[in-house]
């Protein structure tokens, strides 16, 4: 039995299949569903868990090479929220939300949270 780290078996399975340069999406509760990629839904209640909580849990065992977010994130959130994301991942590349969503179908999978942060979705590329 696992005693620490990621305990969710679906997330462990998904993470074990992410290879060099593959991408993983961590999304909020309202993010669209893509039937062609595996989605692990871990939403519990409003705001639990958040994208930041998932990023913090992944950080010890997931080497991020690149990260993308929608540029709208910066105009809809306070600078301290951005700082929290930047503390967990390498420099974030910001692009229009529609361009960001075009990357999603190429991901190995998506972890859906219950986050309510506007445009708080992130795509991580494994190093």
Residue extents of the structural domains in the chain: 21-126
> pTM of the predicted model, to two decimals?
0.96
Peptide bond into 77 cis (omega under 30): no
Decide: 100 and 123 in contact? Cβ < 8 Å. Answer: yes
Q: How many Å apart are CA 52 and CA 49, to the nearest integer?
A: 8
pLDDT tens, residue by residue, 80-95: 999 999 999 989 999 9
pLDDT tens, residue by residue, 19-33: 999 999 999 999 999
Q: Is 20 a catalytic residue?
A: yes
CATH class, range 21-126: alpha beta
DSSP run (H or E) holding 80: helix 79-86
Residue 4 is predicted with a pLDDT of: 85
Mean pLDDT (whole number) for 34-55: 96
Average pLDDT over the chain, rounded to whole? 96
Catalytic residue of the set 20, 76, 97, 106: 20
């Amino acid at each position: 039995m696992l005693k620490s780290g990621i305990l969710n078996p679906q997330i462990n399975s998904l993470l074990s299949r992410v290879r060099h340069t593959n991408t993983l999406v961590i999304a909020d509760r309202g993010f669209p569903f893509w039937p062609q990629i595996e989605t692990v839904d871990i939403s519990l209640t409003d705001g639990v868990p958040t994208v930041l909580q998932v990023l913090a849990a992944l950080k010890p065992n997931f080497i991020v090479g690149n990260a993308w977010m929608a540029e709208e994130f910066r105009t809809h959130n306070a600078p301290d929220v951005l700082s929290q994301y930047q503390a967990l991942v390498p420099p974030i590349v910001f692009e229009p939300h529609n361009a960001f969503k075009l990357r999603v179908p190429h991901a190995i999978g998506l972890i859906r949270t219950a986050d309510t942060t506007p445009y708080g979705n992130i795509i991580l590329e494994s190093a």
